[in-house]
Amino acid sequence: MKLVSVETPEKSVCKMTFSASAEELETASNAVYERTRASYTIRGFAKGEADRAQIEADRGEHTFWYDAINDLMDKDVPALYDAAMAEHGFKAVDDPVYDLVSVKKDEGFVATATTALQPELNLTQTTGFKTECVTPAVTDKEIDNILERRRQAAAELVPHKGPAVKGNIVHMDYEGSIDGKVFAGGSAKNQTLQLGSGRMIPGFEDGILGHKGGESFDINVTFPANYHVKDLAGKPAVFKINLIDVCVRQLPALNSDFAKKIGKVDTMDEFRAQIKQQLYDGKHASAMNRAKDQILTQLANAAEGDLPSVLIETTYQQEMERVQQQLQMQRMSLDRYLSQIHQTRESFTSAVRTAAEKNTRARMALLQIAQAENLVPTEEEIDKKLQERADRTKKTLDEIKANTNVEAMRRNEGIRRAADYVIEHSTIEEK
């Protein structure tokens, strides 16, 4: 491979173009074929017996290209990239973004690497910012809610002699069968179930209601038509139940005994005071973090100059991915979330992009301050941190370094130290 050109299409952005010849692409593609041929099953051939031409005839001539391109890029580009960056005196502030421009069998391929460079910002102010830290008051209702949660957590299961009702917790053995045959996954021993929870298929929990601990009985149910196990969907089943016991949750009284056991204090007044302080500490920490963010926002506003567009775009994409991941964990689509917060997709993405620009500007300002104030960690400090990581993971320092972006680590630690520096040299008034 070779470096074709180095361009600066915009301020603080470097774009390198790399190319590989048709011969290089062919050699790399053949290496991929030899490495992976055993995994291909082609009609008319036993697994691994088809040659390259037969595989490409079935799967397409590009079958091995992209792995070959990745191999060439991984092997040759880093050295070419580093040499070009050093030659031009460029300082990257993010990993390069690679794009495949073209690939043809008789021409090879062309790829680009676009890199965000450190901008030269005019920092009109770096310290002496001012903001307020407003900590909301703790209410009695908040204290009551915490006490109730801890009371619920401390509840004890007490055997109940009467018939089972909704809300009771039961322990049981059960065995399910269809047409007299026990089916896989339909049996359990000493299973705990809260009646009315809806954990089991329709009819199962209702079939336990009215029975007492020690009883054995059958429950007739029908699996839902849309049940996730297709072999069971829509089929009638019989569950043999051995009801070990029926229990009720007994809540402790909110008295001094509760305070001593849960709060490790003598009285409920002391316990409430303890909870109040814990709530206040949490609120104060959140308020202080917001105040620190406001200081860094003021720094961003005081940083004048152009930012590399590719860096803003990367930050924006990362934030959108974070939002999507959070929504996936909540099993919620972006459109549904936007409807709940009464925002359009356009206004939401615009706000995220604005925040990405502000965050990027603050980080670049902090990096510049870190360099000016000698806050960037030294080689010795980086090695010390990496050695600690190596010791924890039972690996060598060289192994850790090989899998660590040391420059990114150095930048991030410098930015963190600079943030502490700016905040320490500013004023946060507590209210």
On the 0-12 / 13-18 / 19+ scale of CB atoms within 10 A, 401 is middle
Distances (CA, A) of 40 to 48, 58, 78, 200: 6, 10, 31, 44
Is the CATH number 3.30.70.1050 carried by domain 2-117? yes
Interatomic CA distance for residues 120 and 138, integer angstroms: 46
Interatomic CA distance for residues 53 and 37, integer angstroms: 11
On the 0-12 / 13-18 / 19+ scale of CB atoms within 10 A, 303 is buried
Interatomic CA distance for residues 102 and 110, integer angstroms: 5
CA angle (181, 185, 186) in 5-degree steps: 55
Pairing of strands 216-222, 236-250: antiparallel
Residues of the chain with CATH 3.10.50.40: 156-250
Cα 317 to chain centroid distance, Å, stands at 14
Interatomic CA distance for residues 68 and 34, integer angstroms: 11
Rg (CA), the chain: 32
Residues of the chain with CATH 3.30.70.1050: 2-117
**Residue for token pair 């299961």:** 157
Sheet holding 108-116, edge to edge: 2-10, 13-20, 108-116, 97-104
Task: Domain 156-250: give its CATH code.
Answer: 3.10.50.40
Interatomic CA distance for residues 232 and 238, integer angstroms: 12
Task: Domain 279-430: give its CATH code.
Answer: 1.10.3120.10
Interatomic CA distance for residues 91 and 20, integer angstroms: 26
What is residue 308's predicted lDDT score, i.e. its pLDDT?
94
Residues of the chain with CATH 1.10.3120.10: 279-430
Full pLDDT tens readout for the chain, 431 residues:
999 999 999 999 999 999 999 999 999 999 999 999 888 888 888 888 888 888 888 888 889 999 999 999 999 999 999 999 999 999 999 999 999 999 998 899 999 999 999 999 999 999 999 999 999 999 999 999 999 999 999 999 999 999 999 999 999 999 999 999 999 999 999 999 999 999 999 999 999 999 999 999 999 999 999 998 999 999 999 999 999 999 999 999 999 999 999 999 999 999 999 999 999 999 999 999 999 999 999 999 999 999 999 999 999 999 999 999 999 999 899 999 999 999 999 999 999 999 999 999 999 999 999 999 999 999 999 999 999 999 999 999 999 998 999 999 999 999 999 999 999 999 999 98
**Residue for token pair 């965050």:** 359
H or E stretch covering 59:
helix 52-59
The model's pTM is 0.77
**Residue for token pair 């940083």:** 303
